[in-house]
Amino acid sequence: MGNAASYRMRRVNEALKEIIGNALSQDLKDPRIGFVTLTGVETAQDLSHAKVFVSVYGKQAEKDATLEGLRAARPYLQRLIGDELSIRRVPMLEFVYDATVDQGMRIHALLKSSGVEDLPPEDEPVDEAPGQPAGGPADASDPWDEE
């Protein structure tokens, strides 16, 4: 797949994430929807559907209720996307629980309980190769891009 297509899909994903994120923080008043964070959006190349990855703070019951509330809000969110974006078709949203945040929190707790967390803070800047801007060139392809 060409670079232009992957760039376009990245922009679609970012736009969807922004629209849904704004709706979550401002419009949606469903009491089932708890403390939720959008961790990513993956839209199919043909725009038929988009996976919306969410992390929910709380117990399993709260996570389930939040996913239920999000699914109930799907028609509203899809209408919002249709109004805001000029794309040839509005993807069907699928909300997927992102467990990586939970894993990160578990790892953090384990490190803390094992004392590994008590290492001195890393105040020293990491030495970059001379003449290279931190993070490399802006147009470098994203190694995490599943293209």
- Expressed as residue numbers, the domain containing 23 is 3-102
Strand partners, 54: 38, 97
In a domain, 128, yes or no: no
In a domain, 30, yes or no: yes
Taking CA atoms, 90 is separated from 15, 44, 103, 133, in Å, by 12, 11, 32, 38
Average pLDDT, the chain: 81
Identify the CATH number of the domain in which residue 59 sits. 3.30.300.20
Contacts of residue 102, defined as CB under 8 A and 6 or more positions apart, other chains included, come to 55
Higher pLDDT, 92 or 57: 92
In a domain, 93, yes or no: yes
In a domain, 39, yes or no: yes
CA-to-CA distance for 121 and 130, rounded, in angstroms? 24
CA-to-CA distance for 101 and 82, rounded, in angstroms? 30
Segment 31-56 shows an average pLDDT of: 93
In a domain, 85, yes or no: yes
pLDDT in tens, 93-111: 999 998 877 777 778 778 8
In a domain, 140, yes or no: no
Segment 108-120 shows an average pLDDT of: 70
Number of structural domains in the chain: 1
In a domain, 108, yes or no: no
Cα pseudo-dihedral 97, 101, 106, 108, rounded to 10: 180
pLDDT at position 104 = 73
In a domain, 34, yes or no: yes
pLDDT at position 124 = 52
